[in-house]
Chains A and B, each alone.
Chain A
Amino acid sequence: MDETRNEPRAADAVEAGLLIRGVRRGDREAFLTVIRLYQQKVFQMAYGFFGNREDALDIVQETFLRVHEKSGLFKEGYGLQGWILQIAKNICIDFYRKNYKKRKELESRQSLDELNLAAPADPHSGRASDLPLLVGRCVNRLAQRQRLVFVMRHYQEFRNEDIARILKISTGTVKSLHFKAVQNLKTMLAPYWESQP
């Protein structure tokens, strides 16, 4: 875990069982502990998915409310982090379908020039850091699963095995989705590369 970000460490299986039993009993402190442990991870995932802070915070809230409501469905012995991120992923997808689909369709109709992908990297013009920004915008144009894998791999620094467990897919599929995502990003960013010296 990155100490500089002061993130709490994830609970192990025994602690997770204790915490979830507490949540089921209505123990507020146990629920607060669960939230404190995982809210930042859920936020990172949602932020990577939507690129919007307010939406990410909404996703965090909705995720933990659902965790509280469905705590009876958690199977002890399984990873609590994986279960919570699965819930977060489902909420992200629902939220995306409700609020983002039309926006993405509009955006996909825009040309690459409109997205300013070919903007030159000029340190004096304040555009030296354009590439991360452009990558972020291009990530939002990726297909749902590719985006999820990409965000979890690069923004949350999950291992392929963890991503596979959370998304309930095989490690091979995770690798394939990640590779496709990177390929698509490369294609989308081709004008930018061409404009570079």
Chain B
Amino acid sequence: MKACARIERRLGKYASGHLPPGEREAIMTHLRDCPSCRAGEARWQRLLEAASAGKLDSDRAMTGIDWEGLAQRIADEAERRAAGRRARPEPRPGFFGWLFRPAMAYLLAGLVLGGLGMWAVFKAGVFNPKPRPGFYASSEFLDKAELELARRETVDYLERSQYLLLDFSQTSADPSGAARRIETASGRAVDLLARKKFINSQLDAVPMAKAREICDQIEALCLELSQLGGRLDDAQWREIQGRVRRSQLLLKINLVKKELQSREI
């Protein structure tokens, strides 16, 4: 049965004569022994014979045609058309005709060159400059940076104040160097006042209550020293020294400074 199925698939080619001799022989041998496949082959033969009968039909259709008359008619028509083609004036060159060919060539060349130029310009990035490398920082980072700045400025202010107060409390008001020392202390107090003005905004912005309080006390003292200037007598000198000692300002400054330093970000 398998062989029959295979042969049946090949019967069309066999009947049409499309098979190589070896395969043809094999099918012929099979057909001798297999009536079913023989019947299939007979159908193919009938079909092909019927197809060839179409030729007879076309032969029948050809009978009665006056071939010579047809040839003459065709020749007449061909000559008539040829005469018409010759009589027809040469068409004027259109936009794509020879007259406009140089212009078209220049136009085409211009387009090509322009296109290449534009391509080069765009490739060079003239119309599309590269973005400058920018700087971006998050708000969190900026807050931290501000806090760190305020902390450093405050520590610096406290250190300077500490030195001033140490100088002031450890020296005696002897008449020989009094005027010079008072002058120096007054100048440093003015400098500290200026710095305090600068860090005020930072102390406001950043929550540092203790540092703010100490800095305010130092500011008040510096203000007093700067106002007294060179007119500071011995009694006033001792009175200020005593006030600094009683309020333990130096100790407080030291503590706050240490605290700020330990909180380094």
Chain A residues in contact with chain B, CB under 8 A?
5, 26, 28, 31-32, 35-36, 39-40, 43-44, 47-48, 53, 56-57, 60-61, 64-65, 68-69, 129, 131-132, 134-136, 139, 150-151, 154-157, 175, 178-179, 182-183, 185-186, 189, 193
Given the complex of chains A and B, what is the CA–CA distance between A56 and B60 in angstroms?
A: 13
Known: A131-B50, A179-B13, A193-B43. A36 touches B61 (CB 8 A): no
Q: Is the CB of B16 within 8 A of A186?
A: no
Q: Is the CB of B78 within 8 A of A65?
A: yes
B4 at the interface (CB under 8 A from A): no
Q: Which residues of B contact A43 (CB under 8 A)?
A: 58, 61-62, 65
Chain A residue at minimal CB-CB distance from B68: A36
Q: Which of B47, B52, B75 contacts A32 (CB 8 A)?
A: B75
Q: Which of B43, B55, B70, B81 contacts A65 (CB 8 A)?
A: B81
Q: Which 8 A-B pairs have the closest CB atoms?
A: A132-B53, A68-B78, A35-B71, A131-B50, A135-B50, A47-B58, A154-B51, A155-B55
Known: A47-B61, A182-B16. A155 touches B54 (CB 8 A): yes
Q: Is the CB of B61 within 8 A of A53?
A: yes
Q: Which of B46, B54, B73 contacts A139 (CB 8 A)?
A: B54
Q: Which residues of A contact B85 (CB under 8 A)?
A: 69
Q: Is the CB of B70 within 8 A of A135?
A: no
Q: Is the CB of B71 within 8 A of A32?
A: yes
Chain A residue at minimal CB-CB distance from B43: A193
Known: A39-B67, A47-B58. A28 touches B53 (CB 8 A): no
Distance from B2 Cβ to chain A, minimum over Cβ atoms (Å): 21
Q: Is the CB of A61 within 8 A of B70?
A: yes
Q: How big is the B interface, by class?
A: 35 or more
Chain A residue at minimal CB-CB distance from B16: A182
Distance from A32 Cβ to chain B, minimum over Cβ atoms (Å): 5
Q: Is the CB of B55 within 8 A of A157?
A: yes
Q: Which residues of B contact A47 (CB under 8 A)?
A: 58, 61-62
Chain A residue at minimal CB-CB distance from B53: A132
Chain B residue at minimal CB-CB distance from A156: B55
Q: Is the CB of B54 within 8 A of A136?
A: yes
Q: Which residues of A contact B13 (CB under 8 A)?
A: 179
Give 22 pairs: A residue, B residue, CB < 8 Å, sorted on A.
A5-B62, A31-B75, A32-B75, A35-B74, A39-B67, A39-B71, A39-B74, A43-B61, A43-B65, A47-B61, A56-B61, A65-B78, A68-B78, A131-B50, A132-B50, A132-B53, A150-B51, A155-B54, A155-B58, A182-B47, A182-B48, A186-B47
Chain B residues in contact with chain A, CB under 8 A?
12-13, 15-16, 18, 43-44, 46-48, 50-59, 61-62, 65, 67-68, 70-75, 77-79, 81-82, 85
Distance from B188 Cβ to chain A, minimum over Cβ atoms (Å): 108
Chain B residue at minimal CB-CB distance from A61: B74
Known: A179-B16, A186-B47. A40 touches B54 (CB 8 A): no
Q: Is the CB of B51 within 8 A of A179?
A: no
Q: Is the CB of B16 within 8 A of A178?
A: yes
Q: Which residues of B contact A136 (CB under 8 A)?
A: 54, 57
Q: Is the CB of B51 within 8 A of A139?
A: yes
Given the complex of chains A and B, what is the CA–CA distance between A94 and B53 in angstroms?
A: 27
Q: Which residues of A contact B57 (CB under 8 A)?
A: 132, 136
Q: Which residues of B contact A35 (CB under 8 A)?
A: 70-71, 74-75
Known: A131-B53, A154-B54. A61 touches B18 (CB 8 A): no
Q: Which of B46, B58, B72, B79 contacts A131 (CB 8 A)?
A: B46
Given the complex of chains A and B, what is the CA–CA distance between A48 and B51 in angstroms?
A: 10
Chain B residue at minimal CB-CB distance from A190: B43
